[in-house]
Amino acid sequence: MSDKKNTVFLIVQDNEDARPIIEAVEQDNSAVNIQYQPGLVRMEAPGRLIVNRETVEEEIGREWDVQELHLVLISLAGNVDEDEDKFELSWH
Amino acid sequence: MPAKKLNLRKRYELLTRGMGWETTYQKMDDVFPYDSFEGIKITDWDKWEDPFRLTMDAYWKFQAEKEKKLYAVIDSFAQNNGQTNLSDASYLSAIKLFITGVTPIEYAAHRGFANLGRHFRGDGARVACQMQAIDELRHQQTQVHTISHYNKHFNGLHDPFYQFDRVWYLSVPKSFAEDAMTAGPFEFITSISFAFEYVLTNLLFVPFMSGAAYNGDMATVTFGFSAQSDESRHMTLGLEIIKFMLEQHEDNLPIVQRWMDKHFWRAYRLLALVAAMQDYMLTNSPMSWKEAWDVYFVENGGALFEDLSRYGLRMPKYHELATAEAEHVSHQVWSVFCSLGNATGFHTFLPTEEKMAWLSEKYPDTFDKYYRPRFEYWAKQKEEGTFEYQKGLPQLCQICQIPMIFTEVQTDPMQISYRVTEHGGDKYHFCSDGCKDIFEHEPEKYVQAWLPVHQIFQGNCGGPTLPEVLEWYKFAPEDSGDYIGSQDHARWQEWKGADKKVKEA
Amino acid sequence: MSIEISAKSIQPVRLSYGNLKERFGDKKPASRYQEAVYDIQPTTNFQYRPLWDKDHELYDPSKTAIVMEDWYSFADPRQYYYGTYTITRSKQQEVAEHNFAFVDKRDLFDSVPEAVKQQVREILVPLRHVEWAANMNNCQITGESVGSNFSTLGMFNAMDRLGMAQYVTRIGLLIDGNEETAIDAAKEAWMEAPEWQGLRHAIEDMFVLDDWFELMIAQNFVLDGLIFPLLYDRFEKKITIEGGATVAMLTEFMDDWYKETVRWTNTLAKVTAKESEANQELLTTWVNKWADRLTSAMEPIAVKAFGSDGINQLAEVKEELLNRLTKNGVTGLKRS
């Protein structure tokens, strides 16, 4: 338990809409651990995890509103910082 | 002239904060009469950080999108008789417990948050609570719609809301919800948003919904995950309100800590029902209660409280006991349901050989030693036709209202944990120190409890005999008892038999 | 023909939930509206009294003087449950969004005469506070009401009002190139200008009403019944003639919204009045009280909006409202 004390996570549905988000998280968070479970995908990382709008837009080739993340979001842990360019989770 | 571009934060502030005003024809304390009696000191509501900056137009847009997807699945599930794709119809006991025990809490939360959405003095906090109030209504309604199809084909799902007000084991969720609703607004939000949603809700939804997927219940998976997308906003609100109270005034810390201790324990006890759902009622379980507890409470809860320790908040009292109990509770709760299976609105069934092998693997230190012998003994009795349901009614804990089934897991796991206290010349009984502490801090509140067993003895539940009580519950004879040999079971076999014939033809 | 055997064997054993079978029979499946809103709210065996209101139980029917044998006699004619509600509003917001984007992109406010813009700043933009209050009042109704049909109705209405407060704010921002000058001025007028004080005073008095059904009447029947026809309909028409059609594009949502709302207020008036003479008398008393109070509160605003014709315009709107309520069973209303 002690080595996982600062884990943040983001869980999304396992579907097509979530794929570019998962890809973007993989690209922008080197320490992320991605687990596929029935119906869902759990992405966890030590201390901090970020979803960048630009990276998702590169994945899908169109404009993407960060708030679209809410359509596939299942759960999260960490303090949320959301603006027009990113969605970030962190523990202080 | 080209319009200046506003960033999300500024735009959201203009679209919420500036619209309220300091009233002058009526005193602010009369307009907002309920947000100070609990002793929480707020010096500056403007310091409130909006957890999510969702304006109504965006809310309508995104939520409509989610609803369209959800109802497309619900419709196709009904048209294609999706219920025939379940792993087994016994799985539905979990859904029966869910709609009678969880869905009514969603409605209670809707009303509670509407109250806060009116009565918090801060504009930002009010709007956040309103969004949650309408989300909770969504969850109640989508759950009723999804489960409606199961109600058409199976027993035990026909009167969930009527039963919530009456049935002996449903007073566990009812008393939990009404405890929060009858408290002040800050305590309500600490209970629901923080203790329940942030700290514990992942234990309910994530493994349980994943379990639904694992058992072919695509309807439940869909509403579950769709609801969870709102839940993330709610959890963030929960964390925000805690930080806000703690940052506003140092005097708030002891109050918040006490609420945290109380509602953690309250919510945790409620989840004992979920533990049984997860380990026993799911035909195939993707994750044991113990594993889920380790991931979602020990690990994530640990990180959360580490983060909050900078405000002086510590882990909730008795969390070590809850972790120790994780090896036991699901077995204890399922045992009590099996022994009172003639008085439940869902079918009970003993774990199969396969299930017991899984339980032995997941609970190497406890299952074979303490619980397997009990289930094997009952199985033998059933085979010989000597099994009898427990006679007499169980004693309930005055706070959580669960029968006295929990044991002294840290010292002697075979010894029932039992606490008692006196108030106003009467004795009150508890399942744990956690529940006893809650009573002793507010005895005037908890002496009021509507305890189903007391009420039966007082003749308030249809009559003195079990059949009269069950009739008053609107439990039809075919709703209760063993799954094997039930109408649900017969129907399932008929479909599967017919299915087999189709395949052969 | 084994496929037929399979399909035949999957026949439902019941068509709806027990409460709906009791209410509507078991001949056909219940509608989604019925499933979503009927009999969800707890009605008995409450565990504890509220710490903040020891005189009442949770969901206590005695929180209003209106008495209904069955609070579910009222059904929303729009049949809104969450899904149909959000999908309908989502379509409307798409149109609104398109209109806002169009006005913004083409700088349409540049071609609106300054005199019209000034009227918008002075009459329309302060209404964001009125809508905000309506949001609070409908939240109050949601929290206090009896029956999940009422809390559902109240909740959707509350969120609509937040949405409309936000649309009005966006008009206030767009009219000045996203500078906050118009909304700051409107707030100052709301707090200080003599013509708004009667209305603000009445609204603050509504905040402290004890009876949620009286609040329902004051807010959703009377105040809305004056403001929407007067300002979102008649005033919009007036400024359209004066060159302000752009503004009408941005308030289309409100105009449509009110037309829709009238449907359920009519039904609610009818069902409540029909229940008993005592209810009917209460409705009459409340409508008279708030129509008097709010009409005089609106007079200076009507004059500001329409000049010397304002009093007459307001009187006509009030007359329409009273006629409509009379037609729906609220009799004995006072005509001035």
Domains and CATH numbers, chain C: 82-327 (1.10.620.20)
* Residue that the structure tokens 């307001």 belong to: C314
To the nearest 10 degrees (0 to 180), the angle between helices C127-144 and C181-192 is 70
Structure tokens at B184: 């002040």
* Residue that the structure tokens 């900056």 belong to: B53
* Rounded Cα–Cα distance for residues C247 and C239 (Å): 8
Q: How much is the pLDDT for B232?
A: 85
Residues of C in Cβ contact (< 8 Å) with B24: 191, 204
pLDDT-derived band at C8, boundaries 50, 70, 90 = low
Residues in chain B: 505
Residues paired with B416 in a beta bridge: B407
To the nearest 10 degrees (0 to 180), the angle between helices C148-174 and B123-153 is 140
For B181, the closest of C18, C58, C94 (CB atoms) is C58
Domain count, chain A: 1
| B residues 63-102 lying closer than 8 A (beta carbon) to C | 63-65, 67-68, 70-71, 81, 84
| C residues 232-271 lying closer than 8 A (beta carbon) to B | none
Distance from CA of C324 to the nearest CA of B (A): 30
Residue C5 has pLDDT above 90, yes or no: no
Alpha helices in B120-217 (DSSP H): 123-153, 160-164, 171-182, 185-189, 201-214
Q: In what order do the strands lie in the sheet with A40-46?
A: A33-37, A40-46, A7-13, A73-77
What are the residue ranges spanned by the domains of chain B? Answer: 27-35+51-504
Subunits in contact with chain B (3 or more CB pairs closer than 8 Å): A, C
Interface of A with B (CB under 8 A): 1, 4-9, 11, 13, 37-40, 67-68, 70-80, 82-84, 91-92
* Rounded Cα–Cα distance for residues A68 and A9 (Å): 18
Contact across the interface for C52 and B30, Cβ inside 8 Å = no
* Rounded Cα–Cα distance for residues C272 and C268 (Å): 6
pLDDT-derived band at A1, boundaries 50, 70, 90 = very low
For B8, the closest of A78, A84, A92 (CB atoms) is A84
Contact across the interface for B162 and C81, Cβ inside 8 Å = no
Q: Which residues lie closer than 8 Å to C100 by C-beta, 6 or more apart?
A: C170, C174, C250
Nearest to B133 by CA among C87, C207, C131, C155: C155
Classified as helix, coil or strand, B407 is strand
Contact assessment for residue A86 and residue A5, using Cβ atoms and an 8 Å cutoff: no
pLDDT tens sequence across C48-86: 999 999 999 999 999 999 999 999 999 999 999 999 999
Mutant choice from B12, B228, B293, B309 vs A, greatest count of A C-beta within 10 A:
B228
B205 near A CB under 8 A:
yes
Domain B27-35+51-504 has CATH 1.10.620.20: yes
- CATH number of the CATH domain containing A75: 3.90.56.10
With a cut of 0.95, is the ipTM above it?
Answer: yes
Residues of C in Cβ contact (< 8 Å) with B25: 200-201, 204-205
Residues in chain C: 336
Contact across the interface for B19 and C169, Cβ inside 8 Å = yes
For A77-91, b/e burial (b = at least 16 CB within 10 A) is: bbbbebeeeebbbbb
Q: Which residues lie closer than 8 Å to C322 by C-beta, 6 or more apart?
A: C287, C291, C333, C335
Task: Give the helix/strand (H/E) hosting B99.
Answer: helix B92-101
Distance from CA of B80 to the nearest CA of C (A): 10
Per-position pLDDT tens, chain B of length 505: 556 778 888 888 889 888 999 999 999 999 999 999 999 999 999 999 887 889 999 999 999 999 999 999 999 999 999 999 999 999 999 999 999 999 999 999 999 999 999 999 999 999 999 999 999 999 999 999 999 999 999 999 999 999 999 999 999 999 999 999 999 999 999 999 999 888 888 888 777 788 888 899 999 988 888 888 898 889 889 999 999 999 999 999 999 999 999 999 999 999 999 999 999 999 988 899 999 999 989 988 888 999 999 999 999 999 999 999 999 999 999 999 999 999 999 999 999 999 999 999 999 999 999 999 999 999 999 999 999 999 888 999 999 999 999 999 999 999 999 999 999 999 999 999 999 999 999 999 999 999 999 999 999 999 999 999 999 999 999 999 999 999 999 999 999 886 555 555 4
* Rounded Cα–Cα distance for residues B172 and B451 (Å): 10
C25 near B CB under 8 A:
no
Nearest to A7 by CA among A47, A60, A67, A55: A47
C159 near B CB under 8 A:
yes
- Nearest chain C residue to B112 by CA: give it: C143
What number of other Cβ atoms are within 10 A of residue C301's Cβ?
25
Nearest to B102 by CA among B151, B190, B172: B172
Which residues form the domain of A52?
Answer: 2-90
